[in-house]
């Protein structure tokens, strides 16, 4: 009998990452789930919470300490996975962040905010993906997922037919500086657009190796991303992060295999 599939989820201790871990952990399919977390303590807290919530799961949970802004941390994490498992079946590049509010609050300069956003969302993801690829290629059913955003679509910047798009794409009144209430998430949006191209490159690079690759746009979810607060986001129409976790699990379990190399949402293929 084949062993359990080994699944790594970066940023798996919170938000959409945590909900993805939970969805997989509660699945009837057994997995070895590796929770990638910058903090061992927060990762262990997530494990304890999940084990209490689903005590009869056939899957296993463990924590891998990894900070995507540190090459040394990534190298150590990959070495741990190699030593303990010898392969990786699914890599879910979920860890990311937005630094635009830090910029708006004056806590980061423009350069600092943009560098932080691209370093975490794109560069760190590229380093990790490159280093785990030899382990993925040992799998007979390798899957590589990049968690992107509905704000990453260039075509979407021309949409005004939905309240969320209307809010994101509205042009502020003339004058400078712009009102602070204007939604500006430029570093985050541009980094996630870059992540989409990163996905396309990995799809091309590993197509003949049989690696299945997607970018996942899980929808407008009430997470802690951006420091706005989950309750505020819910008032703006955001769904529970659990919805995103279930969708990502569905992709892992083969329900969107016809859409490889694309940005997939729960009910759509997101336009570029």
Q: Which residues are catalytic?
A: 149, 188, 192
Give pairs for 102-106: CB < 8 Å, separation 24+.
Answer: 103/187, 104/180, 104/184
Q: In what order do the strands lie in the sheet with 263-264?
A: 60-65, 31-37, 5-10, 90-93, 143-147, 212-216, 263-264
The CA-atom distances, in angstroms, between 216 and each of 38, 70, 149, 234 are: 22, 24, 8, 21
Rounded Cα gap, residues 65 and 45, in angstroms: 13
Burial of 33 (0-12, 13-18, 19+ CB in 10 A): buried
- CA end-to-end span of the chain, whole Å? 41
Residue 77 exposure: Cα atoms within 13 Å on the Cβ side: 32
Task: Look at the alpha carbons of 272, 145, 111, 226 in this order and tell me if their dihedral is positive or negative.
Answer: positive
Burial of 166 (0-12, 13-18, 19+ CB in 10 A): exposed
């Amino acid at each position: 009998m084949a062993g359990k599939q080994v699944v790594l989820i970066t940023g798996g201790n919170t938000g959409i990452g945590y909900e993805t871990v939970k969805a997989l952990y509660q699945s009837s399919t057994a997995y070895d789930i590796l929770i990638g977390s910058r903090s061992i303590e927060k990762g262990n807290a997530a494990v304890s919470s999940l084990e209490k919530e689903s005590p009869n799961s056939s899957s296993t949970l463990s924590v891998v300490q990894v900070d995507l802004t540190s090459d040394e941390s990534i190298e150590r994490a990959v070495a741990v996975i190699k030593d303990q498992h010898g392969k990786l079946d699914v890599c879910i590049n979920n860890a990311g962040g937005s630094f635009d509010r830090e910029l708006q609050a004056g806590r980061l300069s423009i350069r600092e905010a943009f560098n932080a956003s691209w370093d975490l969302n794109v560069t760190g993801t590229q380093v990790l993906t490159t280093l785990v690829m030899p382990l993925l290629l040992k799998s007979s059913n390798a899957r590589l997922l990049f968690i992107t955003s509905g704000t990453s679509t260039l075509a979407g910047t021309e949409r005004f037919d939905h309240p969320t798009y209307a809010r994101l794409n509205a042009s502020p009144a003339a004058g400078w500086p712009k009102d602070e209430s204007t939604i500006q998430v430029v570093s985050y949006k541009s980094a996630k657009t870059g992540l989409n191209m990163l996905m396309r490159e990995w799809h091309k690079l590993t197509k003949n190796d049989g690696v299945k690759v997607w970018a996942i746009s899980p929808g407008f979810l009430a997470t802690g991303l951006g420091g706005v607060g989950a309750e505020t986001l819910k008032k703006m129409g955001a769904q529970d992060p659990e919805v995103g976790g279930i969708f990502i699990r569905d992709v892992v379990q083969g329900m969107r295999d016809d859409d490889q190399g694309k940005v997939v949402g729960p009910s759509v293929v997101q336009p570029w």
